[in-house]
Amino acid sequence: MRDETIALHGGYTPDSTKAVAVPIYQTVAHEFDDADHAAAVFDMDIPGFHYNRLNNPTNQVLEHRLAALELGVGALTLSSGTAAVLYSLQNLAGLGDNIVSAPQLYGTTYTLFVHILPQQGLEVRLAADDTPAAMEALIDDRTKAIFCESIGNPAGNVVDLEAVAALAHFHGIPLIVDNTVATPMMIKPVEHGADIVVHSLTKFVGGHGTTLAGGIVDSGKFPWADHPDRFPMFSRPEPSFHGVVYPERFGDAAYIVRCRTVGLRNAGATLSPFSAFLVLQGLETMSVRLDRHEVNARAVAAYLAEDRRVSWVDFAGFPDHPYHELSERYLKGRCSSLFTFGVVGGYDAGLRFFNSVKLFKRLVNLGDAKSLVSHPASTTHRQLTAEDLKVVGVTPDMIRLSVGIEHIDDIIEDIDQALSAACGAE
Ligand code: PLP
């Protein structure tokens, strides 16, 4: 099936009720026939559910759909994208290890990497830029993965995934890609060598600003067993789960099964089935929404580029953009509706613009059907020092737009009046 069809039908076979919408299994546990049945489910000898911190039939449909769209052997849904980022790393790295990351990161991911994980003994080394050359210098024998966002939020960089994956594999480590901004409709990181894909499903997948959710997809391609010393969690018996050796028992799905049976089971960032249902509703229409988001974004970017109250527009759809070639290659001629621009007059003018919009929603989210605006320097990234801001690519005047699917004339009229309030009439 093609993506548009998977998004509507993937992973769901109606039960005896023939319900056409995926049912919400709002239950905590599932009954066992007897002790033997319970043991078989617990040991994962047969498919089934026991306790919904670990798995749930509604969530499983979303997991199957996500895995199919991202070309994976399996997926795990979680309560937020942040949990997905954290679990993806904790499943393969621990005390004394390190992760090498591209520097262009979502604000909370940056905070997690630079301030939180190091306190727990997991170092994250931010490369000077998103090129393999900058990353290679940081890799050593305790490096357990390379991490990047396929399209950086809010930086808008497009990572050369094939080159970074080749570097990772040369060093015997997996590439983990946060594909939130691109979505699997625009970039499929696994096609380009990524081993693990993470998502905030809160954004374009849910698509309506209603629900926090996250997901991890396992490509099934990383040869954990070939690197027993680097990844002891995939070569030694797992003490917390029947002494199982994951690749021996679960084959290609070793990583994602461990993420469920160790990560989710013991840390518990479970997605509620009702939230999974809402994300499934969003996923059904994602492809048509993305088309409209893109048409509107191109029109807004072109409008801003012509306006003298705007000092710069960072839109990878423009031929002279530094990431245009990579964007064309990886997004196959498409472009993201998330981009940034600068208001003439710096931080204060940026704030005035932000305060003056009427249709755009002033908030910190992206990928909603509604048009959204943020001023990263005073919101998502306000905890960062001036030095940190430079590293993640945020400038004081930067306005980030997530262009929605309203009528384009209404969107542009709102931008025009907010620019007038910030800088005067054009
Ligand atoms: N990754 C990216 C690229 C994001 O933009 C976000 C949130 O904006 C996250 C991860 C975290 O997702 P959540 O808000 O669902 O925890």
Structure confidence by residue, pLDDT tens digits, 208-242:
999 999 999 999 999 999 999 999 999 999 988 88
13, 99: one domain: yes
Last residue of a domain, one of 281, 305, 320: 281
271, 350: one domain: no
What's the pLDDT score for residue 37?
95
302, 417: one domain: yes
**What CATH number does the domain containing 367 carry?**
3.90.1150.10
Strands 98-101 and 143-149: parallel
226, 367: one domain: no
Structure confidence by residue, pLDDT tens digits, 236-277:
999 888 899 999 999 999 999 999 999 999 999 999 999 999
179, 325: one domain: no
246, 300: one domain: no
d(Cα 235, Cα 213) in Å, to the nearest integer? 31
Least confident range from 69-73, 347-351, 370-374: namely: 347-351
32, 169: one domain: yes
**Average pLDDT of the residues in 360-367:** 95
Is the CB of residue 402 below 6 angstroms from any atom belonging to ligand 1? no
Q: Is the pLDDT of residue 367 over 80?
A: yes
**Ligand 1 atom index nearest CA of 212:** 15
- Peptide linkage before 237 cis (omega within 30 of 0): no
d(Cα 142, Cα 6) in Å, to the nearest integer? 39
What's the pLDDT score for residue 57?
97
Is the CB of residue 106 below 6 angstroms from any atom belonging to ligand 1? yes
- pLDDT class of 82 with cuts at 50, 70, 90: very high
Is the CB of residue 181 below 6 angstroms from any atom belonging to ligand 1? yes
Is the CB of residue 77 below 6 angstroms from any atom belonging to ligand 1? no
256, 272: one domain: yes
102, 163: one domain: yes
Distance of CA 148 from the midpoint of ligand 1 (Å): 13
Picking from 4, 13, 5, 1, the residue whose alpha carbon sits closest to that of residue 61 is 13
> 82, 87, 339, 366: which to mutate for ligand 1, most atoms within 8 A of CB?
82
Q: How far is it between the farthest Cα atoms of the chain?
A: 75
202, 261: one domain: yes
Q: How far is CA 21 from CA 95, 131, 220, in A?
A: 44, 44, 29
> 85, 178, 200: which to mutate for ligand 1, most atoms within 8 A of CB?
200
Distance of CA 106 from the midpoint of ligand 1 (Å): 7
Alpha carbon nearest to ligand 1 atom 5, residue: 106
d(Cα 42, Cα 389) in Å, to the nearest integer? 47
Are 181 and 153 a contacting pair, CB within 8 Å? yes
Distance of CA 205 from the midpoint of ligand 1 (Å): 12
Q: What is the CA radius of gyration of the chain?
A: 22
Is the CB of residue 368 below 6 angstroms from any atom belonging to ligand 1? no
> Which sign does the torsion angle of CA 375, 353, 209, 370 carry?
negative
Number of domains in the chain: 2
253, 347: one domain: no
SS3 of the chain: CCHHHHHHHCCCCCCCCCCCCCCCCCCCECCCCCHHHHHHHHCCCCCCCCECCCCCHHHHHHHHHHHHHCCCCEEEEECCHHHHHHHHHHCCCCCCCEEEECCCCCHHHHHHHHHHHHHHCCEEEECCCCCHHHHHCCCCCCEEEEEEECECCCCCCECCHHHHHHHHHHCCCCEEEECCCCCCCCCCHHHHCCCEEEEECCCCCCCCCCCCCEEEEECCCCCHHHCCCCCHHHCCCECCCCCECHHHHHHHHHHHHHHHHHHHHHHCCCCCHHHHHHHHHHHHCHHHHHHHHHHHHHHHHHHHHCCCCEEEEECCCCCCCCCHHHHHHHHCCCCCCEEEEEECCHHHHHHHHHHHCCCCEECCCCCCCCCEEECHHHCCCCCCCHHHHHHHCCCCCEEEEECCCCCHHHHHHHHHHHHHHHHCCC
- pLDDT class of 79 with cuts at 50, 70, 90: very high
d(Cα 59, Cα 37) in Å, to the nearest integer? 22
Q: Is the pLDDT of residue 392 over 80?
A: no
Structure confidence by residue, pLDDT tens digits, 286-336:
999 999 999 999 999 999 999 999 999 999 999 999 999 999 999 999 999
Last residue of a domain, one of 281, 302, 324: 281
Distance of CA 202 from the midpoint of ligand 1 (Å): 7
Strands 214-218 and 74-78: antiparallel
106, 43: one domain: yes
**What CATH number does the domain containing 81 carry?**
3.40.640.10
**Average pLDDT of the residues in 391-411:** 92
Distance of CA 424 from the midpoint of ligand 1 (Å): 35
* Cα torsion through 185, 186, 188, 194, rounded to 10: -140
> 180, 211, 340, 379: which to mutate for ligand 1, most atoms within 8 A of CB?
180
* Cα torsion through 308, 312, 314, 318, rounded to 10: 60
**Average pLDDT of the residues in 276-282:** 98
- pLDDT class of 76 with cuts at 50, 70, 90: very high
Alpha carbon nearest to ligand 1 atom 14, residue: 81
Last residue of a domain, one of 281, 308, 333: 281
Instruction: Give the structural domain span for 347.
Output: 287-423
